Every structure is written in structure tokens, then in C-alpha cells.
Amino acid sequence: MKKKTVFLIFGTICLSLFSSAAIAFNSKSLQAAKLESSKYFPEVQKNEVLDSFDNKGNKVISITNGFDELFTNEEKMLYKKIKACCNDISNKRLSTGLYSISPINVSGECLEIEQVRKVLDALQNDSPEIFWISKTFSCSYYDNKMNTVKFYSIFSKPEKDDCEIRLRNKISEIISKIPENSDDYEKEIFLHNYIIDNCKYKNSRSNPKIFTSYGCLIDKIAVCEGYAKAMQILLCNCGIECRTVSGIGNNGPHMWNIVKIGGDWYHLDVTWDSSDEGSRYMYFNLDDKTIKKNHSIGRQFQGSKALYASKIYNFNLPKCTATKYNYYERNSFKVSNYNCDESIIEYIKKSAKLKHEYIYFKLDDKLSVEMFKNYVFLPKIFRFISRANQSLKNGCKIETKSLYYSTCSNQNVLFIKVKYI
């Protein structure tokens, strides 16, 4: 029998406070872990994870693209074992601030540390409702072979139970506010705007909840990972398939979503849409070409062991090529040339009659939004509005004393925010 002590630390996606950390222990440490388990987990009841649900009878989508890319039986079995025991949490707070989850026996399964990390990433990719599991885990070895794996919770058992119920209730409450007979696109807009209006971006290394759906929906503070996981759990509970995407944005690790609307996939970045009222749809349902203008998508795993050690990677991601449900495609005046004054005036009239707060102009790819702004919009916009006001009733006339406008260069869009007299 060989005894060995090894300490290994692995970084992961960097979006979470607790990056995937693996610690390997010798056989003596394993015995201590067993004693601790019997002390803190007396008569453990195996509880299933609370299922996602929808109180309007909509089909709830289960995300499995992480599990589907576990290509060995040992990996798939570990995934299932984590789900089965993730509620078995100690009430004793460790020096790390975490709480132990009941150890999992993996003796005889020939797992490597990088495989364990991949399995944990797959589970967290698929299950935003299991928000309490940290990215830290420890491995115990016996005779140079992995014997047990232990995962950790950011909450004690009573805290986790309370937080889980609160999250379920909040999901039900939010979904119940979606207008009746909304289609998938309208549900997506509602949930997108709900998160923007009710959560603030805040980074804090002392608060692990900001990386979770719980932090976004209950505490109302989160970073991009929390935004993306909240959007995922809400859309899936409405029967809309939604996954998370890991990559780079603003030269740092970033997470957003892809969502399936009308049979096609689109990129959706709620975090970046939350930065400004007028530009809240800049990253709403983009295709791959558009999102790549300022996002770098992490490599796809596709069963390659070479990516085990990669800090940023994705499980299977479908291509996003459609534009039909892009927000500006559906809600803008399409500018195909610079000589369209009369058409612009008519569109302003139409928007004013509907009391739209914003009026959007989307230019063809062959045109320049800067050229349109400088040679059409700025010299003529007050004249356009004055002409439109001549045929509008009181209450629909647009104020011309001042106008707020901005451009969305990544989508070749210019928009104005209007006030009505």
C-alpha cells in the first residue's frame, strides 16, 4: 500500500468567486473524512433536487448539453451521484467558509482530477437551480488511485433549504406576471426586462451568491454569471430552451446566454443590455457574426481532453445564424439608402401614434450609421418631427425642444428617446 499526499489547484472559468479547485488527500485523510461524514451527516435522507416548474402549465425544459458530452460511464455516473447527494450538506462551517457535502465513493472508477472538474462544470452548466454547489472540490487517494470525491456548498443545509424555497417561489411569482397568451419572443422580452429592472451589477469577492441565479433574483445583485443563470432558469421554466455561453468580453471572462426562439438559436447578453436604458436591446437575440464583434466565444469541449485544463470552454453550442427575432430587426425602421426622408417621417408618425418611448432606425450593412447620423439625422431630425407633428393629435405630438439619441454600432442602429407634449 502506498501513501501519498498531493495538493493540486486548478483554475476554472474565472467568472465565479470559487474557481474549480481540487485538493488531493492521502489515505489517512480519507479516514478522517469518513469520520467527519458520520458525525455531520447522521441518518442522511437522500433528497432529490427540487424540480423546476411552471405554474401556467408550460413545458419545462431540462438542459442536458453538459451531461451529453460526458463520454465515459464513470463521468456520467459521477454526475448523477452529485445530483443525488447535493442536498446532504453539513451544518459545520469550514475555515474556507464552505460546508461539506457528503463524500462520493469513486473507488474502482479510474477517474482523473480533470474529469471530476469537467463533470462539475457540466452539472453547473445544466442546473442553475443547484446554485449552492461551490466550484471547489477535494479528492482522496488510496494506493495512487482516486477513492472519494467531496464537493462543497456555499450554504449550510438549513440555509440552502430556505434559499431554495425562496428561489422557487420567486420564479413562480415572476412567471405569473407574464401577460397571458404571450409567445416565446414576448416571454423572452418580459424576462429580459425584468432582470434588467430588478438586478444591479455588483462584483464582490466576499459574496459567492453574486455568481448564482439566487443572487440575481433574490438578492438582486449579481455579476454576468448570475445574470446568465437567472435568465436560463427563468426561460427554461417557461418552456424555452436556454443555455449559458462562456467567453471573453471587455478583455475579461464573461458569461451570457443562447436562447432558442421560433426554432432558431440566438445570443442574448442581459448583463451588457443592463448598462443603459436606451440600449437595453443591443445584445438581444444576435447571430454569431454580430456577437463576435465584441465577444469571444470560448472553445467547445467536444470530448477533447486537451481542453480539460482550459479556463474557458463550452459544452455543445448550436450555431446562431438567424436574425428574424433580433429586437432591432422587428422594431426598427429599415434604412436601405440615405434618401428616405418621407419614409422616415411616416415611421415617426406611426411610432408616435403608438406612444413609443424609443424610435429605432436600423441601417443596411452596406450603409454607415455614422454617415446616416451626420448627413441625415442631425441636420434633419427636428424638421422630420415638426412635419410628423402636423398630422398628430395632442398627446401624440413629440416635444422638439431637446432630443436624446444614441447609436448601437454593433448592430448599425441609431435610436432616439422621445417625450410627448
How far is Cα 323 from Cα 321, in angstroms, rounded to an integer?
Answer: 7
In tens, the pLDDT along 269-328 reads 999 998 665 678 999 999 999 999 999 999 887 655 545 555 788 988 999 999 999 999
Give the DSSP per-residue string, 45-62.
--PPPPPP--TT-PPPPP
How far is Cα 194 from Cα 360, in angstroms, rounded to an integer?
Answer: 21
Please report, as a single letter, which amino acid is at residue 202: K
Cell of 113: 482530477
DSSP state letter for 234: H
The whole-number pLDDT of residue 271 equals 95
In tens, the pLDDT along 12-21 reads 333 443 345 5
pLDDT at 338 over 80: yes
Q: To the nearest whole percent, how much of the chain has pLDDT over 90?
A: 71
The alpha-carbon radius of gyration of the chain (Å, integer) is 25
The whole-number pLDDT of residue 307 equals 52
**pLDDT band for position 37 (cuts 50, 70, 90):** very low
Residue ranges in 181-258 assigned as alpha helix (H): 184-198, 213-214, 224-237
User: Closest Cα to residue 351, out of 261, 282, 417?
Assistant: 417
How far is Cα 288 from Cα 371, in angstroms, rounded to an integer?
Answer: 25
Query: Which position has the grid cell 446566454?
Result: 257
The whole-number pLDDT of residue 35 equals 28
| Contact by Cβ (8 Å): 344, 384 | yes
Mean predicted confidence (pLDDT) in 98-120: 92
What is the residue extent of each domain of the chain?
6-157, 160-325, 328-417
How far is Cα 248 from Cα 408, in angstroms, rounded to an integer?
Answer: 20
Residues 6+ apart with CB under 8 A from 378: none
In tens, the pLDDT along 351-388 reads 999 999 999 999 999 999 999 999 999 999 999 999 99
Query: Which position has the grid cell 472540490?
Result: 137
Query: Which position has the grid cell 434559499?
Result: 163
Q: CA end-to-end span of the chain, whole Å?
A: 85
Tally of residues, the chain: 421
Flag the least confident range among 30-44, 153-167, 360-374, 382-396: 30-44
pLDDT at 40 over 50: no
What integer best gives the mean pLDDT of the chain? 85
DSSP state letter for 96: T
pLDDT at 38 over 90: no
**CATH fold of 160-325, please?**
C8orf32 fold (3.10.620)
The whole-number pLDDT of residue 308 equals 52
CB half-sphere exposure, 261, CA atoms < 13 A = 27
Flag the least confident range among 34-43, 82-91, 157-166, 213-222: 34-43
pLDDT at 53 over 50: no
Cα dihedral across residues 53, 55, 61, 66: positive or negative = negative
CATH 3.30.1370 fits 328-417, yes or no: yes
Cell of 13: 472559468
The whole-number pLDDT of residue 13 equals 36
Q: Which residue has the higher pLDDT, 52 or 402?
A: 402
Query: Which position has the grid cell 451589477?
Result: 201
pTM: 0.84
Please report, as a single letter, which amino acid is at residue 153: S
| Contact by Cβ (8 Å): 61, 240 | yes
The whole-number pLDDT of residue 278 equals 63
The whole-number pLDDT of residue 43 equals 31
* b/e sequence 330-345, b meaning 16+ C-beta within 10 Å: bbbbebeeeebeeebb
Query: From the centroid of its chain, how far is CA 418?
Result: 31
The whole-number pLDDT of residue 58 equals 62
**pLDDT band for position 46 (cuts 50, 70, 90):** very low
Q: What angle separates helix 378-389 from helix 341-353, to the nearest 10 degrees?
A: 50
What number of other Cβ atoms are within 10 A of residue 201's Cβ? 16
DSSP state letter for 420: B
Residues 6+ apart with CB under 8 A from 311: 11, 12, 13, 14, 253
